Amino acid sequence: MNKLRERLLEIEPLSASRNEKLQQEIQAMFEPKMSRWEMWYWGASLAGSVVGAVSGVFIACFVPAEASVRTIWGVFGVINAMMAVFVLRGMRKGSMNLREQFALGKASVGVTLLIASLILINAIWRPSLENLAWGLFGVTWLVLAAAIAILNRVMAAAIDGREHSLRLEYRLAELMEKLGERR
Amino acid sequence: MTEKDFIRCELLVLSWQRGNCERAAHDLVELFQRPLLYYVRRLVRSEEDAWDALQETFMAVLKALKTIRDGRALPAFVYRTARNAALSQQRRRREEPLVEDIAETVDEAAELQLTADEAADVHRGLELLPLPQRESLTLFFLEDLSIAQIAELTGVPEGTVKSRLFHAKRALKRHLGRRLEGGGHE
């Protein structure tokens, strides 16, 4: 690295207060305040989750059905309750953390995969006309969720591979730099 | 900009794509804050304006980061955004325009060997130069952009950038010479 460049950069004062303000602005960018439309969107999500949670728990506890079916509804209810708590927490804060939103997107695919698998296993385990119809419904969601999961995995693998090779290149560049300094 | 810095640019773009936005933002600020502040400070009148332009730059770059595919193109993009932010600051303050052409062109930039010890004089000398020359020479010293990229950034042909560098270096040389004659470094 050019020493003149470094010295010039050192001469320019870095205001601590403005630097802190910049960091705060950047931090705030990742937790943006919800707009009115976003409040509507998350409000609708919350309502959907609450309905899902109440229905799931109600069917699991009070509707006379096979134990396996009730278990599936129970899992569905609990997951919706967790989703409702997450959304409610964000809405009370008036902002959503982007990282948590990304994680939620990934988790949704996993949850869909889980519930679709449970429905399918139930249909295979206890074959009946009703269970087969549910099984068919499960297969559709299973294929869709699996396709999304595979696509996500392929994209993540491509990024992982690129990142790994870049880290190696970085290490190599670092070594070359040190070698140059010794000479 | 070193090869290591270019790789860091690529890594931070990947971090953003992966969803590690805060990590990417941290790396972006760490990598560009000081050189950008130095550059922008040479374009605007006050430190306050420079920080406002810097803040505007980072916000705009972070919003646009998802559209960047090639991390190596990031430095040029960041500097262009910073320049636009500084120009906006100037327009708000109704100060002298940045873009101003110099008709005279030369083939080679003047040879001027500077050492790190002369940094303080160079820093003061930059302030004495007209804006277009100051901008080109600042970018040249920061070494984050090539001559072609400086030309693209400033919206002038490469020959004009070389001409500006030639005149800027000559003026700086005169300034440094005067300082040395007048008792050396402070």
Its ipTM equals 0.75
Tell me the per-residue pLDDT of B129-166, one tens digit each, with 9 for 90 and over.
888 899 999 999 888 888 999 999 989 999 999 999 99
Contact yes or no for B9/B71 (Cβ under 8 A) = yes
In a domain, A69, yes or no: yes
In a domain, A46, yes or no: yes
In a domain, A10, yes or no: no
Minimal Cα–Cα distance from B2 to chain A, Å?
7
Helix (H) or strand (E) holding A35: none
Q: How far is CA B70 from the centre of its chain?
A: 21
Tell me the per-residue pLDDT of A97-149, one tens digit each, with 9 for 90 and over.
666 776 777 787 788 878 878 888 888 887 888 777 877 777 787 787 778 77
* C-alpha–C-alpha distance, residues A144 and B44, integer Å: 54
Q: Which of B169, B115, B138 is nearest to B50 (CA)?
A: B138
Domain coverage including residue A80? 33-94+107-182
Question: In the numeric block, which tokens belong to residue A81?
Answer: 């309750």
In a domain, A14, yes or no: no
Question: In the numeric block, which tokens belong to residue B164?
Answer: 């500006």
Residues on chain B touching A8 (C-beta within 8 angstroms): 38, 119, 122-123, 141-142
Strand-pair partners of A95: A33
Q: What amino acid occupies position B48?
A: E
Mean pLDDT of chain A: 83
In a domain, A23, yes or no: no
pLDDT of residue B60: 92
Contact yes or no for B139/B145 (Cβ under 8 A) = yes
In a domain, A143, yes or no: yes
In a domain, A88, yes or no: yes
* C-alpha–C-alpha distance, residues A82 and A90, integer Å: 13
Is A8 in contact with B122 (Cβ distance < 8 A)? Answer: yes
Mean pLDDT of chain B: 82
Q: Number of folded domains in chain A?
A: 1
pLDDT of residue B77: 93
Minimal Cα–Cα distance from B46 to chain A, Å?
12
Average pLDDT value for residue range A37-47? 87
In a domain, A6, yes or no: no
Question: Domains in chain B, ordered, with CATH?
Answer: 3-93 (1.10.1740.10), 116-181 (1.10.10.10)
* C-alpha–C-alpha distance, residues A9 and A6, integer Å: 5
Average pLDDT value for residue range B102-121? 56
Q: How confident is the model at residue B102 (pLDDT cuts 50, 70, 90)?
A: very low
